[in-house]
Amino acid sequence: MKDAELDGIIPAVNKVCDGGFRHAAFQIKLILRHASLRQKLRQPARHRFVKTHLNPPLVAIYLQRLQIKLVHVAVLFAAIGVKYKEGGSSMKIVTFCGHRDSIITPDIESWLNKSIEYFIQNGAKTFYLGGYGAFDVKVVSVIHKMKAFYPWIESVLVIPYLDFKPDCLQTALYDSFVYPPLETVPRRVAILRRNQWMAEQCDVLIAYIQRETGGAYQTLQWAKKKNKFILQYPQIVW
C-alpha cells in the first residue's frame, strides 16, 4: 500500500467511527489530552503509527480506544440489520404505516423524530407516505422540519388513484407525489394495493401498530413477507 493511501485510510476509519457514536468518540478524545500523544497525532498518519511503536503504552491505549469504537460500529450495524451494497447504504427508501385514528403522544413524536433522523444519517433520502390519518400527518410534519437540517431528503405522497385527496392541511408539506401502476386496479381496493406497493418498494418500514386489523396492519404484514427491515414502536435503533 502506498503512503498516500495509508494516510487516507487511517483518518477515514477515525472519521467513520466518530460520526454518530459520540460515547465511543468521547473515549478517544480523552487520549488527546495526553501532550506527548497529541504531538504525535499532528504528524502524517503513517508516521504516527510507526513512531508510536517507540512508546508501547501509548500505542496500546490508542489501539484499544480505536478497537472500542469499531466494536460499537459492528454491534450497532448488527443490531439493526444494516446491509451495505456497492455504491453505499441500502437504506434509501423509508415508508410508514400507522392507523388513521392513532393518538400521537409526545413519546411517540419523540420516537419518530429520533428514528427518522437516524435513518437519514444512515443513507435514507426518500420517504413514502400515504397521506391519510393522524399518523401520516405527524410523520410528514416531522420530515418537513428535518429538511432544515437535511435539505436533500424528500417526502413523497403515494396516491392510490388520480383524484385522491390527502389531508388538505398537509398537502403543501409533500415535496412530490407518485402514482404506482394501479390504473387497472378497482377503486375499492386501490388503497390496499397502494400500501402493498409502498411496502414492496421500501428498504425500511417504520410502524406504529396498535391492533391487528386495518390497512396499516396489512402493510406491516406485507413488509414482513418481503423481509424488509422493520422498526416498530417502541423499538429503537439509536
Question: In terms of domains, do 181 and 98 share one?
Answer: yes
Q: In whole angstroms, what is the distance from residue 78 CA to residue 138 CA?
A: 29
- In this predicted model, what pLDDT tens digit does every residue of 17-53 receive, in sequence order? 444 443 333 333 333 444 444 454 455 544 444 443 4
pLDDT at position 153:
98
Give this prediction's pTM: 0.64
Q: In whole angstroms, what is the distance from residue 12 CA to residue 70 CA?
A: 12
Flag residues of the chain having pLDDT under 50. 5-6, 9-10, 12-38, 40-41, 45-55, 59, 62-63, 66-88
Partners of 98 in the beta sheet?
A: 208
Q: Where are the alpha helices (DSSP H) in 43-129?
A: 45-51, 56-80, 106-121
- Report yes or no on 46 lying in a domain: yes
| CATH number, domain with residue 142 | 3.40.50.450
Question: In terms of domains, do 216 and 123 share one?
Answer: yes
Task: Cell numbers for 228, please give them.
Answer: 424488509
Question: In terms of domains, do 223 and 110 share one?
Answer: yes
Query: What is the number of domains present in the chain?
Result: 2
Closest C-alpha to 198, from 223, 175, 164, 166: 223
pLDDT at position 223:
97
Task: Cell numbers for 191, please give them.
Answer: 388503497
Question: In terms of domains, do 94 and 192 share one?
Answer: yes
pLDDT at position 64:
53
Question: In terms of domains, do 33 and 148 share one?
Answer: no
Supply φ then ψ for residue 168, to 5 degrees: -60, -35
Domain closes at, from 55, 80, 105: 80
Domain of residue 20: give its range. Answer: 3-80
pLDDT at position 169:
66
Question: In terms of domains, do 29 and 100 share one?
Answer: no
pLDDT at position 166:
82
Strands, sheet with 229-232, edge to edge from the N-terminal-most edge strand: 176-178, 154-158, 126-129, 93-98, 204-208, 229-232
